[in-house]
Amino acid sequence: MITATFNNYIGGAELVKMEQGVSIMKAAILNGVGNIVGECGGQAMCATCHVIVRPEHREQLPPLSEDEDEMLDCAATARAEGSRLGCQLKAGEHFSTIEVDLPETQ
Amino acid sequence: MNISEHLQSAVIIGTGHSGVQAAETLRESGWTGRIVLLGEEQHAPYQRPPLSKDYLDLDKAAGPLPLRAPSFFEEHRIELRLGVRVESIDRAARSVRLSGREQVPFSKLVIATGASNRALDIPGSALSGIVGLKSLDDAGNLRELLGPAWNIVVVGAGFIGLEFASAARAMGKNVTVLEFADRPMSRALSPAMGDFFARHHVDAGINLRLSEGIASFLGDEDGNVATAVSTSGSQYAADLVVVGVGVVPNTGLARAAGLPVDNGIVVDHDLRTEDPDIYAVGDCASFPSPTGTGRIRLESVQNSTDQAKHAAGQIAGGADARYEPVPWFWSIQGGVRLQIAGLSSPGNETVLRGDPGSGKFSVFCFDGEVLTAVESVNRPGDHVAARKLLGRVLAVTPEQCGDTAFDLKSQSNALALTG
């Protein structure tokens, strides 16, 4: 079973089961996890699915593309170590379990 | 909750990006009254941008991306009503009338009715196999027609037409695009960028016919389209025709209610119509240009969501700031990522940053010394910098923009810090 844990900025956590190939962004929207918008529909164009991946889960992920890297500079909450766009991280392809923190604003 | 708050009711017409955003922001800004969200489509609110891109990929299952989780509306006490048509707005009675004569009272009304595809009215345009692409139903229909089609004609080299043409070409289809203007996307893009995309699509094998519009369609004995005839008299075989010749704003309800309409429902800097309790947001709204001249109407996700947030904020509590964000847009065509920040005007001076031949470059548009817009192809850094630089007088000079050795990112960050 593939899972993602979303920690919101006020301390709550939500564990979501994910289907193969589904992005963190889509899983968050489908499950009603607050604080993820995904305005562009998953094209790495809007930086409104900003998540901060917990340190122990970062190694397994693919490196940042130039698009993702630059768009993170546009995020409403300043990027941090481990910042990624949720639309670029796919269940099964990039992780089998992951834990992320959600920024206060998208 | 006091009694007057209890009786307050905000009604939103339209369940697209702007309608849903207005409902969410109203609740999150502390609106305690009813929120009624009325949608004509049967589908729960969904993301529109993927419909002309990923959704058309026949190798993937057709699955729309919902705008919000199914539980969202109940959790936010938003009364989402799908498949209902608003027949009229009764300003005197402060209510909207639905088909079936039901009246829904409002104390505040947000019109988020969007836009509809402009229809072609030429000989043969009623033949089957001639379709538009706007809604989820349109996209579902197109997916079914696309599989067996081989010869595809796209009318109009705008964003939707070219996104679709690229997707169809990537499936190996024989694609012809007819465009009466001499450049693709000429209403929105600088000539340099339009020329780049023209070359790109031709190189990809699309038969891009510029300065050549559609004149008529010819059908077979079953009433299906078979041939597209262009204004030059050329004939193109067509099993499927996709029409992308722009949209018209859905202003009928507002007009019938006596609200001013001028290429969109006329609103002020706060997205308010002439009636202080009625707002219009998104594709249907004509608002004062942020650069101070005339009125504009924009068709984009960013515009829809930002306007909805602003109008809802006004209704819930009356934020002071005027609505004047930096507009931005994007398109993906055959793997090329186009990002646009700001609004250029015809006659703007343009400066190239990077080499179009490399497939990575930006066009910086200037009105005198003021940067008005930046169009970027596969140079997301320029786009990000542009969104911070736009609207600032003397932020950067044309010479700096044209010099790839000039550090645009540091300049934009420094200016952003000064506020």
What is the DSSP track for B69-105?
-TTHHHHTT-EEEES--EEEEETTTTEEEETTS-EEE
What is the Cα–Cα distance from B43 to A22, expressed in whole angstroms?
21
What is the Cα–Cα distance from B186 to B251, expressed in whole angstroms?
25
Considering the domain architecture, whether residues B111 and B123 belong to the same structural domain is answered as no
Considering the domain architecture, whether residues B153 and B219 belong to the same structural domain is answered as yes
- ipTM, interface predicted TM-score of the complex: 0.86
User: For residue A88, what is the domain's CATH number?
Assistant: 3.10.20.30
**Looking at the partner chain, which of A31, A46, A74 has a beta carbon nearest the beta carbon of B69?**
A31
Rounded to a whole number of angstroms, the distance from the CA of B89 to the nearest CA of chain A is 30
Taking the Cβ of residue B417 and every Cβ of chain A, the question of whether any pair is shorter than 8 Å is answered with no
Rounded to a whole number of angstroms, the distance from the CA of B334 to the nearest CA of chain A is 13
CB B96 within 8 A of CB B103: yes
User: Could you tell me which of B131, B161, B345, B119 has the C-alpha nearest to residue B247?
Assistant: B119
Please enumerate residues of A whose Cβ is less than 8 A from a Cβ of B.
26, 29-32, 38-43, 45-46, 66-67, 69-71, 73-74
Which positions ≥6 away from A88 have C-beta within 8 Å?
A23, A44, A62, A65, A68
Tally of structural domains, chain B: 3
The better pLDDT of the pair B294, B151 is held by B151
Tally of structural domains, chain A: 1
Considering the domain architecture, whether residues B257 and B214 belong to the same structural domain is answered as no
**Looking at the partner chain, which of A40, A69, A73 has a beta carbon nearest the beta carbon of B330?**
A40
pLDDT at B101 over 60: yes
In a domain? residue B323: no
pLDDT at B293 over 90: no
Q: Look up residue B182 and give its DSSP letter.
A: S
Closest residue in A to B48 (Cα–Cα): A41
pLDDT at B6 over 90: no
Question: Token digits for B296?
Answer: 């504009």
Considering the domain architecture, whether residues B32 and B97 belong to the same structural domain is answered as yes
* Alpha carbon separation from B275 to A42, B279, B280 (Å, rounded): 38, 8, 11
What is the Cα–Cα distance from B53 to B159, expressed in whole angstroms?
11
Sort out which chain A residues have CB atoms less than 8 A from B21's CB and list them.
none
Written as one letter, the residue type at B183 is R
In a domain? residue A94: yes
In a domain? residue A30: yes
Phi, psi of A20 (to 5 degrees): -50, 130
User: For residue B378, what is the domain's CATH number?
Assistant: 3.30.390.30
In chain A, how long is the greatest CA-to-CA distance? Answer: 33
Written as one letter, the residue type at B36 is V
User: For residue B180, what is the domain's CATH number?
Assistant: 3.50.50.60
Taking the Cβ of residue B216 and every Cβ of chain A, the question of whether any pair is shorter than 8 Å is answered with no
Please indicate whether, in this complex, the C-beta atoms of B54 and A41 are within 8 angstroms of each other: yes
Beta bridge partners of B248: B116
In a domain? residue A43: yes
Confidence band of B35 (pLDDT split at 50, 70, 90)? very high
Last residue of a domain, one of B227, B245, B263: B245
Sort out which chain B residues have CB atoms less than 8 A from A32's CB and list them.
68-72, 75
Confidence band of B418 (pLDDT split at 50, 70, 90)? low
CB A99 within 8 A of CB A54: yes
pLDDT at B295 over 90: yes
Confidence band of B70 (pLDDT split at 50, 70, 90)? confident
In a domain? residue A54: yes
Would you give the distance in Å from CA B372 to the centre of its chain? Answer: 20
Domain that holds residue B378: 335-418
Closest residue in A to B337 (Cα–Cα): A45
The predicted-structure confidence for A57-105, as pLDDT tens digits, reads as follows: 999 999 999 999 999 988 889 999 999 999 999 999 999 999 999 999 8
CB B400 within 8 A of CB B406: yes
Written as one letter, the residue type at B369 is E
In a domain? residue B322: no
Considering the domain architecture, whether residues B268 and B212 belong to the same structural domain is answered as no
Closest residue in A to B50 (Cα–Cα): A41
- Tell how strand B278-280 and strand A83-85 pair up: unpaired
Please indicate whether, in this complex, the C-beta atoms of B49 and A74 are within 8 angstroms of each other: no
Mutate to test the interface with B, among A24, A37, A43, A104 (most CBs of B within 10 A): A43
Considering the domain architecture, whether residues B277 and B311 belong to the same structural domain is answered as yes
Write down the mean pLDDT value for chain B: 93
- Radius of gyration (C-alpha) of chain A in whole angstroms: 12
In a domain? residue A106: no
Mutate to test the interface with A, among B27, B56, B330, B378 (most CBs of A within 10 A): B330
Closest residue in B to A73 (Cα–Cα): B384
- Tell how strand B130-131 and strand B240-243 pair up: parallel
**Looking at the partner chain, which of A29, A69, A73 has a beta carbon nearest the beta carbon of B66?**
A29
What is the Cα–Cα distance from B219 to B231, expressed in whole angstroms?
17
CB B69 within 8 A of CB B27: no
CB atoms inside a 10 Å sphere around CB B102: 12
Considering the domain architecture, whether residues B107 and B203 belong to the same structural domain is answered as no
Last residue of a domain, one of B288, B316, B344: B316
What is the Cα–Cα distance from B371 to B373, expressed in whole angstroms?
6
Mutate to test the interface with A, among B25, B65, B339 (most CBs of A within 10 A): B65
Interface A:B, Cβ pairs < 8 A: 60
Mutate to test the interface with A, among B27, B71, B301, B336 (most CBs of A within 10 A): B301
**Looking at the partner chain, which of A38, A45, A70 has a beta carbon nearest the beta carbon of B330?**
A45
The predicted-structure confidence for B201-250, as pLDDT tens digits, reads as follows: 999 999 999 999 999 999 999 999 999 999 999 999 999 999 999 999 99
The predicted-structure confidence for B349-362, as pLDDT tens digits, reads as follows: 999 999 999 999 99
In a domain? residue A12: yes
Please indicate whether, in this complex, the C-beta atoms of B387 and A67 are within 8 angstroms of each other: no
pLDDT given for residue B83 in this prediction: 97
Considering the domain architecture, whether residues B241 and B383 belong to the same structural domain is answered as no
Last residue of a domain, one of B194, B212, B245: B245
Domain that holds residue A52: 2-101
Sort out which chain B residues have CB atoms less than 8 A from A71's CB and list them.
380, 384
